[in-house]
Amino acid sequence: MQNRRSALTLLELLSIVVIVATVTALGIHFLSSNSEEERWLACRRNLKKLAEGMAIYNNPYGDNRFYPWPAGRAGCGGTESPDAADFGGAEWLASLYWTRVIPDPGVYLCPSSGDSNADGRDLGDEGCCGPGFEAGSDGKLKPDAVSYAAMAATSVAVYESKKLGKEPRDSKIAIRDDMPPNEPMMCDDTEGTINHGRKGNAGMNVLFFDSHVEFWPSDKVDLERGVGQGKLVHLRN
């Protein structure tokens, strides 16, 4: 009786290779998905912390009102005066760092974005033109210093005209009225590859004035032009 051979046939070897490759791919996909979920949750926590920081900031610096343009703080734009300088939503968030309301520079970065503020150096100290600020070539806040968009210097006027149909007032005044709880106040920005997920199931985190966060998929917001468009019309990078 012939001994049963112990060597594997080519077909058996190929079967083993396919099984190993499949298990490996599934494992990598699971780890990747799990990592992205952790980054997404960390991003939500950052938005929550920034909302808490805004509430703290508004007491000593905003007379308990929401100030898109921080009182006494220079805007961005090189040597321009504060009245002429630009002050977007990212700059307003950076003011929480200048005033040490939120001194952790990592809070301003979405972990899915790959953004960096050089451990806070790109956020500045006393304003975009203040000491320690490493400005971009135009003297403004670098696009990747803050991973989020928020109410900006022009937000009040845009909100009143676009959302309320009113004649817009001075865009640099404080918001004296309570904002609706279901009104977006902050979100992931759309500069670079910052949105969560992949094409087909991508989305962005949106923070509302009642401090809850929603994940808006690609069929609800334009991920390439979402900030400043549609329901996020008054938010700015």
Number of domains present in the structure of the chain: 1
Q: How far apart are CA 178 and CA 43, in angstroms?
A: 26
Per-residue confidence (pLDDT) for residue 31, from 0 to 100:
39
Residue 1 lies in a domain: no
Do residues 236 and 155 touch, judged by C-beta distance below 8 A?
yes
Per-residue confidence (pLDDT) for residue 174, from 0 to 100:
65
The backbone torsions φ and ψ at residue 24, rounded to the nearest 5 degrees and listed phi first, read -65, -45
- Mean pLDDT of the region 28-54: 79
Residue 203 lies in a domain: yes
Residue 217 lies in a domain: yes
Q: How far apart are CA 30 and CA 73, in angstroms?
A: 46
Mean pLDDT of the chain: 75
Q: Is the pLDDT of residue 79 over 90?
A: no
- By CB atoms closer than 10 A (0-12, 13-18, 19+), residue 131 is exposed
Give CA separation, 141 vs 55, 69, 166, in Å. 23, 15, 31
Residue 4 lies in a domain: no
Residue 21 lies in a domain: yes
Tally of CB atoms within 10 A around 235: 28
Residue 82 lies in a domain: yes
95 three-state secondary structure: helix
Query: By mean pLDDT, which of 63-77, 91-105, 195-209, 219-233 is the weakest?
Result: 63-77
Task: Give the model confidence (pLDDT) of 98-126 as tens digits.
Answer: 888 999 999 999 998 888 998 988 887 76
Task: Give the model confidence (pLDDT) of 50-71 as tens digits.
Answer: 999 888 877 766 666 666 666 6
The backbone torsions φ and ψ at residue 112, rounded to the nearest 5 degrees and listed phi first, read -90, -5
Long-range contacts of 114-117 (CB under 8 A, 24+ apart): 114/144, 114/192, 114/193, 114/194, 115/144, 115/145, 115/146, 115/147, 115/192, 115/194, 116/144, 117/142, 117/144, 117/145, 117/146
Q: Is the pLDDT of residue 130 over 70?
A: no
Nearest to 159 by CA among 89, 213, 95, 70: 89
Going by the DSSP 8-state scheme, the letter that residue 152 receives in this structure is: -
Per-residue confidence (pLDDT) for residue 29, from 0 to 100:
45
User: Which domain range does residue 130 map to?
Assistant: 12-236
- Mean pLDDT of the region 196-207: 81
Residue 210 lies in a domain: yes
Per-residue confidence (pLDDT) for residue 132, from 0 to 100:
58
Residue 41 lies in a domain: yes
∠ CA(42), CA(197), CA(108), 5° rounding? 35
